[in-house]
C-alpha cells in the first residue's frame, strides 16, 4: 500500500518538475530576422567583448540624478537593505573631460522604411522633442561607478512602477488600437523588464547583504515560465544588437577620453571586435522595415517619443537608489537604440551618457541570454529533480519514505523460507 502511494508521489513530483521548467525558445521571433539559436551563438562570441568594455573607464562611469522628485505621485518608501544604496564616485575618480558634458558621437543610419501605407487615425505632433531628460547637464546629477555599484536584489517591490510604465504605454496608444503584444514599445519595455528580473534573480542577497546562490524559483516565477517575456527579451536583444551593428565604420571616429592613447585604442579595438563578431554570424538581426506597414517613420516617432519620455519620468518615482540607477541606465541605453534606429537627422548624435547606456544595456541583455541558457542546462541536469523534490515536497517525502522503508523491512522479515527437499540416495 505504502509503495503504491510512494509511486504516486513520485509521479506527482515528476509532473511538477515538468511544469516548473523554463520555456524552451527555438526558431524565429516576429521582426527578428535570425533564429534564437543564432542569437545565442552571437552572444557567446560578443559576451567577452561586452564584459571588457563595461569595465573600462569610459563605460563604467555614468551620470545620473537620483534625487529628482516623482512628478506623478507622492513617492514613499525606504530601503530595508544596504544593497539599495548607491555610492558616488570619489574625488579624482572622474576624468575632467567627462564633467564638461560637451562630447557627442555621430551615428549613421541606413534605413529603408516603407511609407506605402498610412493608418486611418490622425496622430498629432508632440511638444516633447526628446526621448528622455538629458541628465548630464543636471546640476543635481552625480557620477556613479557601475562596477562598484553592481545590480542586485534589494527587496524593493517595484510592481507599482512597472504597472505605471505599462499603463502609460497602453493608455497613450489605446486610441490607435496599438495596445497589444505586437506593439513595439510594449515589447521593448517587456524585454527590459525581463532583463531586470534575470539580474535580480542571479545577483541574490539576504537582508544582511550577504550573497546567496541564484534564485531559480524567482527566475521561473518572473521570467522562465513566461514564453512571451522570453520572446521580448530576445526581441530587445536583437534590436539593440542591430543598433550597435549600425555603428560599424564609425567607432574609430569617436574619442573615448582616456589620458592614455593605448587605452583609447583598446576600447576602439574591443568595440570593432564586438561588431565584427556579431556581423560575421548575422549582419541584420532585426527587420525594422516590417514595423512600418501601417505607420510612417514620422508617425511612429511622433507617437512613441512622448510616451517614452513619460515612461522615463516614472523612474523618478522609484524610492530604491540602486533600482533607480539601473532603470535609468537601461532606458538611457534604449534611448540610444531608438535614436540610432529610428531617430531623425537632428538626432544623429549620441551623448556620452547614451553611449555608456547603450553598451551597458547590451552587456546586461547579453548576461540575461547567457543565464537563460545556464538555467536550461541546470533544469536538464540529474540533480534538478532531486533538489526540486527536496525543496518543494520535503514534507510529503518525510512522511511517506519512512513508511515505505518500514513496509519493505517487514516484507523481508516475514518472507517464508523456501523448503528444500533432499533426495535420499538409495
Binding residues for FAD: 154, 162, 190, 193, 222
- Is residue 97 within 8 A of residue 152, CB to CB? The reply is no
89 as an active site residue: the answer is no
Residue 222's region, left for phi above 0, alpha for psi from -120 to 50, else beta, is alpha
C-beta of residue 333 within 8 angstroms of C-beta of residue 241? no
**Which cell is 413 given?**
522479515
- Mention every residue, 6+ apart, whose C-beta is less than 8 A from residue 404: 2, 3, 6
The x, y and z cell numbers of residue 373, run together, are: 541558457
- Report helix angle 321-342 to 297-314, nearest 10: 170
Residue 71, CA distances (Å) to 131, 307, 314, 315, 318 in order: 17, 15, 8, 10, 11
Query: Helices 352-379 & 227-245, crossing angle to 10 degrees?
Result: 140
Tell me the three cell numbers of residue 114.
516603407
Q: Which of 84, 170, 320, 410 is catalytic?
A: 320
Q: State the catalytic residue, choosing from 84, 282, 317, 323.
A: 323
User: 281: which DSSP letter?
Assistant: T
| Whether the Cβ atoms of residue 41 and residue 281 lie closer than 8 Å to each other | yes
Question: Three cell numbers at 386?
Answer: 532531486
C-alpha closest to that of 185 among 175, 172, 197, 195: 172
What is residue 415's DSSP assignment? P
Q: Would you state the cell numbers that stand for residue 166, as one nine-digit string? A: 505599462
Three-state DSSP class for residue 105: strand
Catalytic residues: 320, 323
Amino acid at each position: 500500500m505504502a509503495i503504491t502511494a510512494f509511486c504516486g508521489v513520485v509521479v506527482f513530483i515528476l509532473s511538477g518538475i515538468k511544469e516548473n521548467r523554463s520555456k524552451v525558445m527555438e526558431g524565429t521571433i516576429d521582426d527578428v530576422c535570425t533564429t534564437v539559436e543564432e542569437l545565442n551563438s552571437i552572444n557567446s562570441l560578443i559576451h567577452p567583448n561586452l564584459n571588457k568594455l563595461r569595465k573600462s573607464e569610459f563605460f563604467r562611469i555614468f551620470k545620473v540624478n537620483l534625487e529628482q522628485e516623482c512628478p506623478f505621485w507622492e513617492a514613499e518608501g525606504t530601503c530595508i537593505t544596504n544593497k539599495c544604496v548607491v555610492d558616488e564616485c570619489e574625488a579624482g575618480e572622474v576624468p575632467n573631460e567627462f564633467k564638461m558634458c560637451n562630447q557627442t558621437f555621430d551615428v549613421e543610419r541606413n534605413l529603408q522604411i516603407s511609407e506605402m501605407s498610412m493608418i486611418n487615425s490622425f496622430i498629432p505632433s508632440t511638444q516633447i522633442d526628446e526621448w528622455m531628460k538629458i541628465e548630464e547637464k543636471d546640476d543635481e546629477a552625480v557620477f556613479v561607478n557601475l562596477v562598484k555599484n553592481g545590480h542586485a536584489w534589494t527587496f524593493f517591490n517595484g510592481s507599482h512602477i512597472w504597472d505605471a510604465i505599462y499603463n502609460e504605454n497602453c493608455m497613450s496608444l489605446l486610441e490607435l488600437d496599438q495596445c497589444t503584444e505586437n506593439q513595439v514599445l510594449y515589447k521593448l519595455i517587456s524585454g527590459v523588464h525581463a532583463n531586470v528580473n534575470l539580474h535580480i534573480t542571479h545577483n541574490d542577497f539576504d537582508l544582511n547583504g550577504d550573497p546567496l546562490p541564484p534564485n531559480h524559483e524567482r527566475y521561473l516565477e518572473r521570467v522562465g515560465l513566461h514564453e512571451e517575456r522570453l520572446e521580448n527579451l530576445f526581441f530587445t536583444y536583437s534590436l539593440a544588437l542591430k543598433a550597435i551593428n549600425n555603428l560599424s565604420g564609425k567607432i574609430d571616429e569617436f574619442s573615448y577620453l582616456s589620458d592614455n592613447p593605448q587605452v583609447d585604442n583598446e576600447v576602439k579595438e574591443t568595440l570593432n571586435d564586438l561588431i565584427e563578431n556579431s556581423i560575421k554570424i548575422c549582419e541584420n538581426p532585426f527587420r525594422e522595415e516590417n514595423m512600418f506597414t501601417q505607420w510612417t517613420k514620422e508617425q511612429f516617432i511622433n507617437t512613441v517619443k512622448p510616451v517614452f519620455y513619460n515612461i522615463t519620468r516614472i523612474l523618478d518615482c522609484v524610492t530604491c537608489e540602486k533600482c533607480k540607477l539601473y532603470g535609468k541606465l537601461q532606458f538611457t541605453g534604449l534611448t540610444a537604440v531608438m535614436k540610432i534606429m529610428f531617430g531623425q537627422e537632428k538626432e544623429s548624435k549620441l551623448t556620452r551618457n547614451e553611449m555608456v547606456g547603450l553598451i551597458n544595456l547590451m552587456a546586461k541583455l547579453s548576461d540575461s541570454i547567457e543565464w537563460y541558457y545556464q538555467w536550461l542546462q541546470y533544469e536538464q541536469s540529474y540533480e534538478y529533480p532531486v533538489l526540486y523534490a527536496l525543496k518543494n515536497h520535503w514534507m510529503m517525502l518525510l512522511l511517506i519514505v519512512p513508511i515505505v522503508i518500514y513496509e519493505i523491512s517487514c516484507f523481508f522479515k516475514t518472507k517464508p523460507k523456501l523448503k528444500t527437499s533432499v533426495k535420499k540416495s538409495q
